[in-house]
Amino acid sequence: MDAFSRRGAIGAAAGGLLAAQAARAQGPAPAGTPNAPASDPRHRILGPQNEARQGQNPDLLTPPSTDHGTLPNLRFAYSDAHRRLESGGWTREITTRELPISTSMAGVNMRLNAGGARELHWHKEAEWAFMIAGKARITAVDERGRWFIDDVSAGDLWYFPPGIPHSIQGLQDDGCEFLLVFDNGAFSEDSTFMLTDWVKHVPRSVLAKNFGLPESAFENLPKEHLYIFDAPMPAAMQAEIPRSVEKVPVGFSHRMTAQEPAASGRGGNVRITDSSHFPASKTIAAALVELEPGGLRELHWHPNGDEWQYYLEGEGRMGVVGPEEHARTFDYRAGDVGYVPYAMGHYIENTGSGPLRFLEIFKSDHYADISLNQWAAVTPQALVQAHLRLPDGALARLPRDKEPVKPA
């Protein structure tokens, strides 16, 4: 460290930073946090600090003493993602470029204004969606020319199989915002097959022959693709249904939040939607978890793949344990994406003062988790006791039925 940066660091440490650290140390620690005191003089930071970021990352700044070794980064915030601004709305994505561990799935957060349309397109990946806010019109056509059209609102899902052409359009009064999840972490929303890209690169003579129209019919094709653009507001849904054509036999939409929770208790509740509830959704399964303040999504893992998470509301932290004693804790808040590599044990705790709501998403046709509580409850008790050495009678009180959420 040269004289200049040393003087700067000491000056800063002697001023506001020390005061801020002292203030943090006096504040209440989140319930059950085994973190060391932030004021421990051995762990003072003398150099530059981003107070706002550190305040959002208490478990990175001062990790719980149970953390050990290294894990890949398991969080990326949409607030740190580039936003592509278009005339009809905007989009931002978290792929393996942003979150390298997320090889199984990628996510796109998109807003369409009233009338704003995501142009007619298709892609090689399946597309699963959760409506965050507002209303949207979605359309698709399958390989036999059968139509699909629906109006969706907050809490609804859709699923478009790979290669199936589709569109999304924001409706009155304020369009919509939604989360898209693709079953390939390397997916990019910037590299889909778009109608206007295609016709732009086909000779007019071929377009004329294909559509049975004169070449002059194609004089007004857009010079650039439209992607997300202002389009006329659609008519009432009934008026847009094609006559004398069959509807797709398995619908591409589902009302997730209209489902009764699969599990609920004093700590919160869990809704599960997989292909047994939503038959079209053959490669994506999901759970919507709501935790009360202090509530815990219990210690568990998933036997069928990686978990991609999206935090809808609140603040929480996740502890993940891999093999060879690699254990790390990450903090999350609304708008963040989390990730759990295949089969790693984990828990999620609500560390905020309000509800914590998040989606668990899997590249699978079915939802599955293994509960540590249940495993211990239904394994020969003397064997489990030889491992855990709990007080007499404690094992007998563990629930044999799965309780995915626990109260504070």
Considering the complex, state which of residue 17 and residue 234 has its C-beta at the smaller distance from Mn ion.
Answer: 234
Please give the residues from 244 up to 263 whose contact with Mn ion meets the rule CB under 5 A: none
Please give the residues from 141 up to 160 whose contact with Mn ion meets the rule CB under 5 A: none
- Least distance to Mn ion, CB of residue 362, Å: 9
Closest by CA position to 290, among listed 334, 348, 356, 349: 356
Q: Which are the contacts of 15, defined by CB distance < 8 A and separation ≥ 6? A: none
Considering the complex, state which of residue 142 and residue 307 has its C-beta at the smaller distance from Mn ion.
Answer: 307
Q: Does residue 369 have a cis peptide bond before it, meaning omega lies within 30 degrees of 0?
A: no
- Least distance to Mn ion, CB of residue 102, Å: 15
- Tabulate helix, strand, coil % of the chain (nearest 5): 20, 35, 45
Closest by CA position to 257, among listed 156, 151, 362: 156
| Window of 91-99, 270-278, 302-310, 387-395 that interacts with Mn ion by CB under 5 A | 302-310
**Beta strand 307-313 with 176-182: parallel, antiparallel or unpaired?**
unpaired
| Window of 55-63, 124-132, 199-207, 255-263 that interacts with Mn ion by CB under 5 A | 124-132
Q: How many CA atoms lie within 13 A of 179 on its CB side?
A: 25
| Window of 104-112, 127-135, 206-214, 398-406 that interacts with Mn ion by CB under 5 A | 127-135
- Least distance to Mn ion, CB of residue 336, Å: 15
> Please, are residues 348 and 297 in contact by the beta-carbon 8 Å criterion?
yes
- Least distance to Mn ion, CB of residue 123, Å: 6
- Least distance to Mn ion, CB of residue 32, Å: 19
- Least distance to Mn ion, CB of residue 284, Å: 13
| Window of 2-10, 122-130, 202-210, 311-319 that interacts with Mn ion by CB under 5 A | 122-130
What distance in Å separates the CA atoms of residue 99 and residue 101, rounded to the nearest whole number?
A: 6
The residue from 177, 307, 349, 360 that is catalytic is: 360
Residue whose CB is nearest to Mn ion in the complex, by number:
127
From residue 304 to residue 323, the character string flagging contacts with Mn ion as x (rule: CB under 5 A) and all else as - is ---x----------------
Considering the complex, state which of residue 127 and residue 290 has its C-beta at the smaller distance from Mn ion.
Answer: 127
User: Is 360 an annotated catalytic residue?
Assistant: yes
**Beta strand 253-255 with 156-160: parallel, antiparallel or unpaired?**
antiparallel
- Least distance to Mn ion, CB of residue 287, Å: 8
Is residue 382 helix, strand or coil?
helix
Is residue 323 helix, strand or coil?
coil
Considering the complex, state which of residue 86 and residue 307 has its C-beta at the smaller distance from Mn ion.
Answer: 307
Give me the sign of the Cα torsion angle 305, 310, 313, 318.
positive
| Window of 58-66, 171-179, 226-234, 300-308 that interacts with Mn ion by CB under 5 A | 300-308
Question: How many Cβ atoms from other residues are within 10 Å of residue 347's Cβ?
Answer: 18
| Window of 12-20, 86-94, 169-177, 301-309 that interacts with Mn ion by CB under 5 A | 301-309
Does position 98 bind Mn ion by CB under 5 A?
Answer: no
- Least distance to Mn ion, CB of residue 238, Å: 25
Q: Which are the contacts of 401, defined by CB distance < 8 A and separation ≥ 6? A: 374
Does position 127 bind Mn ion by CB under 5 A?
Answer: yes
Q: Indicate the Cα dihedral angle 275, 276, 277, 283, nearest 10°.
A: -10
Bridge partners for 200 per DSSP: none
Does position 119 bind Mn ion by CB under 5 A?
Answer: no
Using CB under 5 A as the binding criterion, the count of chain residues that bind Mn ion stands at: 2
Considering the complex, state which of residue 194 and residue 334 has its C-beta at the smaller distance from Mn ion.
Answer: 194
Start-to-end CA span in the chain (Å): 46
Bridge partners for 166 per DSSP: 121, 140
Considering the complex, state which of residue 292 and residue 298 has its C-beta at the smaller distance from Mn ion.
Answer: 298
Q: Which helix (H) or strand (E) holds 59?
A: helix 58-61
Considering the complex, state which of residue 194 and residue 377 has its C-beta at the smaller distance from Mn ion.
Answer: 194
Considering the complex, state which of residue 138 and residue 334 has its C-beta at the smaller distance from Mn ion.
Answer: 138
What stretches of 334-368 adopt beta strand conformation (E)? 336-340, 345-350, 356-362
Catalytic sites, residue numbers? 360
Chain residues that interact with Mn ion, rule: CB under 5 A: 127, 307
